[in-house]
Structure 1
Amino acid sequence: MLYDTARTVGSRVGRVLYRPTIEGLEHIPASGPVILAANHLSFCDSVVIPLAVPRRIRFLAKAEYFSGTGVRGRMSRAAFTSLGAVPVERGRSGGALEALEIGLRWLKDGGVFSIYPEGTRSPDGRLYRGRTGVAHLALTSGAPVVPVGLAGTERVQPIGARLPRIAPVTVRFGAPLDFSAGYGDLRTGRARRLVTDEVMAAVQRLTGQEGAGTYNDRAAGE
């Protein structure tokens, strides 16, 4: 109920203020498990995607967003909880595996799980190489992957900005990618790398971003 209310109100307000361009919603299955794999430009990406998608979403967010104190801390916790975020302690041993297990459980129940394969926000607008967690989810669950291309969110809330600004936003959903067959004869690492690279190529076609050709190891931000 809280998620539905937050999404309805937030979506209406967002459409009035930002008049976002949303393309390809028909590519998101009406039911059943699906993975949304998006580029990551801004803090507000995790608000834009849940408000754009008509189905309930789960996504990972760093634990600090849930542990703040005072009025600001309570507001952050309430906002992320209402949007379907799951807290994850980054940097802790086993944290990445635990995060993927959360995603697999949600997918097993037929849900929509959103992930940023780059791992953290792009510091310069380029598209960084994807980490293979998205492939682990897809190959283990058999769920299709819908690539998501975000544009303009870096102007709404640039890295370091506390408050959002008014700027045009575009969200593009690509055709689902099916990885449920054809990878069984490959070594696990090789299969995950191929799947991840295919997902990132699909995201890049949606965004037109320049490829960085390397991983995003920026420590600050997320």
Structure 2
Amino acid sequence: MMEFYSASDTCPIKPTDKPINPKVAVSSARISPWLTPLAYFLGHHFLLPFFFGNIKITGQENIPKTGPVILAPTHRARWDSLLLPYAAGRYVTGRDLQFMVTIDECQGLQGWLIRRMGGFPVNPQHPAVATLRHAVEVLQQEQMLVIYPEGDIFRDGKVHQLKPGIARLALSAESHHPGLGVKIIPVGINYSEPYPSWGADVSIEIGSAMNVKDYTNGKAKQNAKRLTEDLTRTLQHLSNQELAVSHHAFAEISNS
């Protein structure tokens, strides 16, 4: 499970001009210069095409190739975190993705791999301010960050209540650095079956960019609420558009 937790309203996220010590903030999370290319290659050419029957991806032109970006996908299966780099990673945009991950996902061999693929942990019960600041710093460095706004995996095809942290983080980064140009990209992920098995179909619908600067006028709480509501509606639209995936109705096949 990958989820974002924000600081409370009384403890806002304050970006800093000083770089955060990665050993403190993210426990050596970094993109490996040799493992990441290998994982992309194996996933793109072998694992995903072999496992899934059809992979349909639309809207890739909506992903900026430069500037700070938050990918905000629905969360339907653990496969999501492999499919997102396939749909929006280095082979498409020339960029690697960084994931905010719950700390229980960063244990053992899996944790070793996640950290070297750009994932960094957050403790859902006691989120460290340094970790949240690191997420803001990723945006300040104009990189691409993945946050699952629903938090948990939901297999009923419905968009569940979004966590407020994604809006607060985006607004914090933009408001403390006017002109940064943070964009949120909604992504709808849908499978032909609730628990994808070999041969299942998947559809990934990438929506238009939401400009965070458009939500910086007014009070912080109201801005975050409005951004969250608009993101919810967009994700619902993307999910409803792709309900046909459960009936194997593909207009175009990208993996044939």
TM-based fold match above 0.5: yes
Residue of structure 2 equivalent to 1:125: 157
How much does 1:23 deviate? 0.9
Work out which of the residue numbers 99, 102, 106 in structure 2 matches 1:62: 102
- The question of whether the paired residues in 1 share the 8 Å contact of 2:122 and 2:131 is answered with yes
Identify the match of residue 85 of structure 1 among 119, 140, 143.
119
TM alignment of 1:49-198, pairs within 5 A: 49-54=84-89, 55-68=95-108, 74=109, 76-92=110-126, 94-95=127-128, 97-122=129-154, 124-142=156-174, 143-152=182-191, 155-157=194-196, 165-184=198-217, 186-198=218-230
After superposition, what is the alpha-carbon deviation per residue over 1:1-38, rounded to whole angstroms, capped at 9, x for unaligned? 22122112211121343231111111111111111111
Distance 1:177 1:9, change over 3 A: same
- Unaligned runs of 5+ residues in structure 2 are 1-32, 90-94, 175-181, 242-256
Q: Could you tell me the TM-score, scaled by structure 2's length?
A: 0.69
Aligned length: 194
Q: In the alignment, what sits opposite 1:15?
A: 49
Q: Residue in 1 aligned with 2:235?
A: 203
Secondary structure of 1:180's aligned partner: helix
TM norm structure 1: 0.78
> In 2, Cα distance between the equivalents of 1:102 and 1:35?
14
Q: In structure 2, what is the Cα distance between the partners aligned to 1:135 and 1:62?
A: 18
CA contact (8 A) 1:47 1:83 kept: no
> In structure 1, what is the Cα distance between the partners aligned to 2:146 and 2:200?
23
Q: Which amino acid aligns with 1:86?
A: F
Contact 1:44 1:153 in 2 (8 A): no
User: 1:83-108 CA deviation, whole Å, 9 max, x = no partner?
Assistant: 3211222212x34x554322211111
Name the aligned partner's letter for residue 140 of structure 2. K
Consecutive unaligned residues of structure 1, counting only runs of 5 or more, are 69-73, 158-163, 210-222
Radius of gyration: which is bigger? 2
SS, match of residue 118 in structure 1: coil
CA RMSD of aligned residues (A): 2.1
- Whole-Å Cα distance in 1 between the matches of residues 55 and 145 of structure 2? 22
CA distance in 2, matches of 1:191, 1:199: 12
CA separation of 1:200 and 1:154: change in aligned 2, threshold 3 A = farther
Q: Is the alpha carbon distance of 1:84 and 1:16 closer, same or farther for their aligned partners in structure 2, counting shifts above 3 Å?
A: same
The whole-number CA distance in structure 2 between the counterparts of 1:201 and 1:63 is 29
Tell me, yes or no, if the aligned pair for 1:7 and 1:83 is still in contact at 8 Å. no
The letter for the 2-side match of 1:145 is I
> Which letter maps to 2:203?
T
Alpha-carbon distance, 1:67 to partner: 1.9
Q: Greater CA deviation, 28-37 or 13-22?
A: 13-22
Correspondence for 1:216? none
